[in-house]
Chain A
Amino acid sequence: MEKVVIKKSPYNVKKARIIDIKQLTEKEKLFRVILEDNSWLDYEPGQFIMVSLMGIGEIPISICSSPLNRDYFEICVRAVGKVTESMHRLNVGEIIGIRGPYGKGFPIRMIEAHDLLIIAGGLGLAPLRSLILYAIDNRRDFGEIHILFGCKTPEELLFSDEIEEWGRRLDLHFACTVDRADPDWKGNIGLITSLIPGVDIDPIRTYAAVVGPPIMYKFVIKELLAKGLPVDQILLSFERHMKCGMGKCGRCQIQNLYCCKDGPVFTFKEIMDMAEAL
């Protein structure tokens, strides 16, 4: 058996250095990262990267910063298992491996010049933050912007500083809700679906971008259809187990689509007839 080094292997990783870490909630940390060779990661909102901790494993994580930021990129990681918990033990200055970006993100060219309705459930805010920051950076290219964010409890609210700022901005509409409140909570209580009927949108001019836990989609889509949104203007990002990130390993297959390559962002139209999608 001969062995050769192939730098061009699709599984090769680039070295990336953590330059800042912020504890967002008990379970989530935000990592600010730069590539070791100082090159810049060219990505679109909604795309993901494969993050490696050598010896521990490799996982898909959405990029959550604005793609227009050329100084660094950010990922928000919830500690749920082997790799993510190990990531939470990393310090500033340490090196991780990354490959990507992968997948089809939000179709920015199509969304531009439309109104935008963003619906985030829990950690779903991470990939959507990239879109939100992009839209804010290019504010004049979008119409009305509505952001709805739902979480289980107030302690789980991600990016709380930013959310506060979004709430104060005059050029966007922001609403937030929790399933279970504590005595200090002054906002809405209830599922995210309860916020949708109240938003004032022109459905024909609006693109909705939805990311959240699997259970959320069916209910949110129902509300959006009731609002009159066309099926090809509802954008959904799906989560499936992923190993290769490039349409080979079969793990993320949803019928004849690969979530990693054909998605993770799909229009509702693309998947509405697929029994295994939702």
Chain B
Amino acid sequence: MKTEQYRIIEKSSFNDFINSLIASQKVIGPVYKGFNNYTFEEIKSAQEMSLNYIPTIIPPKKYFMPQKETILEFDTKETLHVEPVSEYEELILFGVHTCDIAGLRCLNVVLSDEPKDISYLIRKRYITIIGLECNAYCDEYASCSFVGAHVPTTGYDLMFTDLGDYFIVHIHSSKGMDIVKQANIFKPADNYDFEALKALREKKDRIFNNEVPTERRYLPDLIDRSWNASVWKELEQKCLGCGNCTSVCPTCYCFDIKEDVDFTLKAGQRYRVWFSCQLDPFAKVAGGIDFRRERSARQRHRFYRKFRYHIDRYGMFFCTGCGRCSRTCMAKINLKEVLTALIKESETKIWRKWL
């Protein structure tokens, strides 16, 4: 650990720091909306933020890959005129939890894979990410430690960790360093602070424990063996096919491409919008053939996509354990319960083989 990359900031100066950020730039932070719901939105003063928040309804991916995004503008009045466009905004995202930072890393590997998604890369360049570490679980739906997203690793400019009266701040990029320098209220961290941080992480190791009764490294294998599991059939009965689980997921990025024309029918935009593998037309082809007609097959696809397919392609899980899918599901389909049921089913199968 590079000690010169750490600073501390007293909680008494925290609001001044946020307000100074707001004075210079658009700042987005977690805001309480009632009924235990939070959203990321623009804040005009530090008091509007709720730092003690559970995952927001929609993850911060909405700033990196907007729900609706214009990709081309066209005009066919005289001859075809097409202009590919990209929209971006300079933003500071404040208070992003480590699970959501892990989600952004997932988007990043996909969208910077060839051919690069230039709009995403431009937007990413203009967004500063300031993280906020969780010292305890948000709620019973979280499974962040199972996938290793409960401690900060990479993917942020600054990371704030609450150590009681003050935050210790990890500076991870020169952009982060600029902010710290400009604010001029951060102090160097000393051995006492590092000991406190170490003690906190050790305590976290004890609190954040595998939420699913297996180890992370066994999961891809387990999923591989679960193609015909009866668990999927049970989900067939429950799932409503509403697609909520995928719209709130920080690692889902599937989209549709559509277009709008203006009243002249000559000019308009082509845009992309979030879409979901849980919805009906997603995998249909000619003659009405649907390669994932059953909801069981769609749910299986969702879980395989999180824990198996992207391991082959990108070497990482595409679940950050944020718990949003379970929190939002009207049918009360719970990710941890599904994984647990798969483990149980696979155990009985393996036992049977050995007996």
Contact = CB atoms under 8 A, between A and B. Distances in A.
Interface of A: 1-13, 15, 52, 54-58, 80, 95-97, 213-214, 239-241, 243-244, 246-251, 253-256, 275-276
B254 A2 contact: no
A47 B308 CA distance: 28
B88 interface: yes
9 contacts: A3-B86, A4-B86, A4-B122, A9-B71, A96-B80, A214-B289, A240-B291, A243-B256, A248-B110
A8 B114 CA distance: 13
A13 B86 CA distance: 15
Contacts of A12: 72, 82, 84
Interface string B269-302: 0101001010000111111010110000100010
Residue among A7, A56, A256 having the largest count of chain B Cβ atoms under 10 Å: A256
Contact of B283 (A57, A241, A244): A241
Nearest to A278: B291
Contacts, number: 134
A15 B74 CA distance: 12
B230 interface: no
3 tightest A-B CB contacts, nearest first: A250-B254, A9-B84, A256-B309
Contacts of B261: 55
Majority secondary structure, B binding face: mixed
Given A55-B76, A239-B286, A250-B253, A10 B85 contact: no
Contacts of A243: 255-257
Given A2-B88, A249-B257, A54 B287 contact: no
Contact of A276 (B74, B76, B86, B292): B292
A81 to B, nearest CB: 9
B126 to A, nearest CB: 8
Nearest to A252: B283
A256 B318 CA distance: 13
Interface of B: 71-72, 74, 76, 79-80, 82-89, 110-111, 113, 115-119, 122, 227, 253-259, 261, 265-266, 268, 270, 272, 275, 277, 282-287, 289, 291-292, 297, 301, 304-305, 308-310, 312-313
Given A243-B255, A249-B256, A255-B309, A6 B82 contact: no
A54 B268 contact: yes
Majority secondary structure, A binding face: loop
A55 B262 CA distance: 9
B255 to A, nearest CB: 5
A116 to B, nearest CB: 26
B88 A57 contact: no
Contacts of A276: 291-292, 297
Given A54-B259, A57-B259, A239-B285, A4 B117 contact: no
A1 B289 CA distance: 41
A6 B268 contact: no
Given A243-B255, A250-B253, A276-B291, A55 B265 contact: yes
A258 B247 CA distance: 21
A55 B86 contact: no
A250 B80 CA distance: 29
Given A3-B86, A54-B270, A241-B283, A275 B118 contact: no
A240 B292 CA distance: 12
A264 B304 CA distance: 22
A241 B285 contact: yes
Contacts of A96: 80
A240 B290 CA distance: 10
A57 B72 CA distance: 12
B256 A240 contact: no
Contacts of B254: 249-251
A239 B85 CA distance: 30
Nearest to B126: A2
Contacts of B89: 1-2
A2 B89 CA distance: 6
Contacts of A254: 291
A96 B80 CA distance: 8
A256 B224 CA distance: 12
A251 B258 CA distance: 14
A12 B74 CA distance: 11
Given A240-B291, A246-B115, 16 more contacts: A6-B84, A11-B72, A54-B72, A54-B82, A57-B259, A214-B289, A241-B282, A241-B285, A244-B257, A249-B255, A251-B254, A253-B301, A253-B305, A254-B291, A256-B310, A256-B312
